[in-house]
Structure 1
Amino acid sequence: MIFYYWTSYALVDLFHKIKERKGFEKTVFNKNLPTMVVAKAAKATKANKSKASAKHSKSSYSGGASQCLLDVIATLMTEPKFSSSSFIPREKIDAYMKLQGISGASTIRKAVAKSKKDDLIVVEGKTVALTEKGMNNSNRLAHMSSNSNEEYQKKKIDDAKLNTKMRMLLDYLKDGKAYSKTELLTELDMTANSTWRNMIAKLKNEGFIKIKTTLIELSDEMFPLGRE
C-alpha cells in the first residue's frame, strides 16, 4: 500500500514537472515569436530602404552615367581652354556630370572604370580623354543643362520637393556663407524646437547643408563648379 501511494505521488509529481516544463517551453517560444517577427520586419525595412536608396540614386541621364561621361568629355573638348589638349581634368568632368544629374562619387567612379575597361576613354593621372571608339559613341551636348551652381541648386531643390521653410533657409544660404543658428532662426521666424531640429536633420542628411560647430552653410555638393 505504501509503495502504491509513493508510486502515485511520484507519477503525479512527474506529471506536474512535465507540465511545467512544457509551459516553460511554450512561454519561451511565445517570447521569441515577437522577436522573430520584429527581426523579419527590421530585415524587410532594411531591404525596402536599400531599394529606395537604389531608386533615388538611379541616373536621370538618358543612357546612364557612362554615356554622360562620354558626352561631357566630348562637349568640354570644344571649350577654348581645353582646345590644346584632348585630356580634360577629372575635377571638371565630375562637376559637369553632376550638373547633368549624375550624383554620387561612386557612380562616377564606376562609370570611369567601365568606360576605361570598354576602351572608350584613356586615363592619365587626374585627366581623362576619349579614345576614337569613345568619340564615335559620344554626343556633344548643344548646351550643358544646369550649367551654373545656381541652376543646379534650383533643380536639386525642386526635385526634392521641400517645404516653404526649407526653401527659405536654402535661399538664405545660397551666397555660400556660413550663418549662426541664432541668425537663421530669426530670419525664418522660428524657434529651436523639434520642427527646427527635424528640418535641419533632413537637409543635412539629404546633402543640402553642412554644420560646423554652431554655423550652418550649404554643402560642397551644392557647388559642383566650386565656390566663388
Structure 2
Amino acid sequence: MMTNLFSVFDPSSSLFNLSLNWVSTFLGLLLIPTTYWFMPSRYQIIWNNVLTTLHKEFKTLLGPTGHNGSSFIFVSLFSLIVFNNFMGLFPYIFTSTSHMTLTLALALPLWLSFMIYGWINHTQHMFAHLVPQGTPAVLMPFMVCIETISNIIRPGTLAVRLAANMIAGHLLLTLLGNTGSSLSYVMVILLLVAQIALLVLESAVAIIQSYVFAVLSTLYSSEVN
C-alpha cells in the first residue's frame, strides 16, 4: 500500500537485503559492446553524431584555455544522465536521477574539484570573480557575499533541478494513472491521450535536463581557467 505520494520513488526491490533498483543505472554498460561492431548500426551512427556535436559545443564553451580531452568528461556525463532519464520512462524501472543521492553525487565532486583546482592554480582569477567588473566600491562587500553564496549553492541547484524535474513529471503521470479505474470509457480514452502527450513531454525534459546539467558543469569548469 502506498503510504504517501512520494513512496512510488522509494527503493522496493531487493535481494539479500541489497537494493536492486540502482542496477538500472548500470544497464547502459550493456550497450558498450555495440561500439566495437565492425559495421555500426543506425542507432550507433545517430548517437555518434550527437556525441560529436556535443563535443564541439563543449569545446567551444571551455575555450582555448580548456584542457585537451576535458570535454569528454561532460559528454560522458550527458550520456549517463540522458540514459537514466529515459530508463525511468519505462514501467517498473527505477529512475535513479529522481533521487538526490545520485544527482548530488554527480554535481558535488565536479564542483568541488573545479573549486580546488581554481583556488590552488588561479587564486587571483578566483578572487576577481567575486567582484564583477564595474562594481562601485560601496557595494563590493555585498557583492562578495552574494557571489560567494551563489557559488556555494551551485552543486545544490544542479542536483535539485535535475531531481525535481524528473519527480514532477513522474508524479503527474502517476496521479493521472491512478484515476483511470474510476473513469468512464470516454474519459479513459482522453486520459490515454493525455498520458501519451505527457510521455512525449517527459522525453523532451529527459534530454533537456541532461543537456542543461552538462552545459552548466562545463560553464563552471570554464570559469576556473
TM-score (norm 2): 0.23
TM-score (norm 1): 0.22
The structure richer in helix per residue is 2
Larger Rg computed on CA atoms = 1
